[in-house]
Amino acid sequence: MPPGKLKRVRFGEGENFLKLSYVVVITVSSFLFSLLLFPVIFNYLFLWDSGNARGDISDWFTLFGGIISGLISGLFTYLALWITIQTQRKKEIEKQAEEDKRKIVNFILYSKYYLDRLDETFYIIRNQFGLDFVKMLNEVSKNINFRESSFKEHGYSELPSHIDINKFESSLTQVIQITEQYREILRKSLNELKKDRDMYKMSYNTFLAIENLYSFCYLAQNNNYYDDYDFILNFISDKEKFGFTGLIKVLKEDFDELWKSYVADDENMLGDYIIEIEFPHIKG
């Protein structure tokens, strides 16, 4: 099933179609038998004088007429009841499908919101260090193998004096707060999206990524190594898909694709409804 498309249950599809066809065949057959075949059989078998029967022919008509009318009435009652049950079941399935999709759309919208906030904070951090420092750090990083060494081993241990590390520490606190809030949303999504394998996998991978981001930033702040060159590079690197900046970029691209499937191209306008009610500040 393609992303963003709900599976609809209709009377003319699959198992429901077979059941309905079966009921129609039985109904038509019973109707034809009652109106055409039964009178003929009744005429030959019951409307002859055996000499042993007591009562008039009208009595037989009354007896069998009551039986036949009861059977026909019961058949149509059963048919009406079956259609009512199937209609109610269809409504319940569609209601559940809409509720499941609402959870998916909420997950996407919340993710876009928090990822945008993280991206904005990273942009602020990048500007705090200045273009010259950012350029220098990226140039030096090209010659460093981070699996074997670090900036400190290459003589980069103290930040330039013009850099206000307090501003970076304040921004880092904001990153921690955002990731804490986002983690709770992702935990909730893990419980709500179990029915959709792809969305559950997406929420699980996103949770692991955000959890790692939170852990790195939290440990850096509490162990006072937020002024470490290696740690700072995660926020200001120009490398594709490198560090925290690359992580957020990849996640934003993934959720932009989900946005197109589940919200922007939402035939039922469910996404627009949720945006209007819960996220009036989001446009797109």
pLDDT digits (tens, 9 = 90+) for 78-88: 888 888 888 88
With respect to residue 176, please indicate whether it lies within any of the assigned structural domains. yes
Q: Do 222 and 116 fall into the same domain?
A: yes
Q: Do 86 and 108 fall into the same domain?
A: no
Distance CA 42, CA 67 (A): 13
Distance CA 237, CA 243 (A): 7
The structure tokens listed for 143 are 């010659």
Q: Do 24 and 73 fall into the same domain?
A: yes
Q: How many CB atoms lie within 10 A of CB 138?
A: 15
Dihedral sign (CA 131, 134, 137, 143): negative
**Type of residue found at 62:** T
What pLDDT does residue 180 have? 94
Domain span at 84: 14-46+54-92
With respect to residue 284, please indicate whether it lies within any of the assigned structural domains. no
With respect to residue 7, please indicate whether it lies within any of the assigned structural domains. no
pLDDT in tens, 12-40: 445 555 666 666 777 677 666 666 666 66
Distance CA 142, CA 156 (A): 14
Q: Do 78 and 107 fall into the same domain?
A: no
Q: Do 36 and 155 fall into the same domain?
A: no
What pLDDT does residue 70 have? 80
Q: Do 81 and 185 fall into the same domain?
A: no
Domain count, the chain: 2
Q: Do 154 and 269 fall into the same domain?
A: yes
pLDDT lower than 70: segments of the chain: 1-23, 27, 30-61, 63-64, 147-148, 265-284
With respect to residue 265, please indicate whether it lies within any of the assigned structural domains. yes
Q: Do 71 and 189 fall into the same domain?
A: no
Q: Do 76 and 119 fall into the same domain?
A: no
